Amino acid sequence: MTDQTVSNAIAVRDTGPAAMVEQYRAEYAALMPSHINPDQWVRLAVGAIRGDKNLVTAAQNDVGVFLRELRTAARLGLEPGTEQFYLTPRKSKAHGGRKIIKGIVGYQGIVELIYRAGAVSSVIVEAVRANDSFTYTPGRDERPVHGIDWFGAERGDLVGVYAYAVMKDGATSKVVVLNRQQVMAAKAKSDGAHSDYSPWNTNEEAMWLKTAARRLAKWVPTSAEYMREQLRAQAEVAAENPSDSALPPAPLETTDPDDEDDEPIEAEFVDDDQTGGEA
């Protein structure tokens, strides 16, 4: 490889989507909750985009959308490119069928938001497989009894999932139990579920867990109020210093027919019937 080739490669890298994340480091840091380490967050975002050529291509197709999705992750205080906040390439009708970046809050992100509210001591979200034992009778049992033979034969196919939280006072929250049919119904509402890059296809069990965690989030405190206070403070600062934010504005066309519209809105989990689906 010649010196000129190396120089060209560096120039492309330094003007690509990853470089844009670095460029707007301060702006993303201003959006994050105070407990988030901005340097670590940026490293995760840059590592995720540089480590997958499909993500690079999708981000280059519309860098503004990519930066907007990262803005959502920053506001929620979730780690991009992890099971807290997936970054996936998704075909967009508004972009002529080309792929753009779609951010999807994962089950670990939902659990993080529940913990952050400070009302629970633990959150349990588990998948049940065909060879596991599982018993739970609402009204009789406080919590499910789930038996797993960790050292025996294969656990078998996914058959269900459940979630509950133990509150700080020791009480048990509502227990959410979903069977395969219910999980598949949630999957069917997701416009992007059949994409090769959808977490439904790359990490199916995690999406089963997300479906249960998302239902649980309706019954336990989340960090919604915490996030509202953060955003209110940021809005006040922005109003006083309108030139401080250098992040590109979100595109005027903020919705896309291919989008999954079930994600948290500023950390509030909206009802399935209102959203039309789960990621």
AA identity, residue 68? R
What digits encode the pLDDT tens for the residues 145-185?
Answer: 999 999 988 999 999 999 999 999 999 999 999 999 999 99
pLDDT at 237: 57
What digits encode the pLDDT tens for the residues 198-214?
Answer: 888 888 999 999 999 99
Q: How far is CA 264 from CA 24, 212, 270, in A?
A: 24, 14, 7
Q: Where are the beta strands (DSSP E) in 148-227?
A: 158-167, 176-179
pTM of the model: 0.73
pLDDT of 29 > 90? The answer is: yes
Among the residue ranges 28-37, 94-103, 255-264, the one predicted with the least confidence is: 255-264
pLDDT of 186 > 50? The answer is: yes
Q: What percent of the chain has pLDDT over 90?
A: 59
Closest CA to 125 of 140, 115, 116, 117: 115
Closest CA to 134 of 122, 146, 117: 146
What digits encode the pLDDT tens for the residues 232-254?
Answer: 655 665 665 554 445 554 432 32
pLDDT at 253: 31
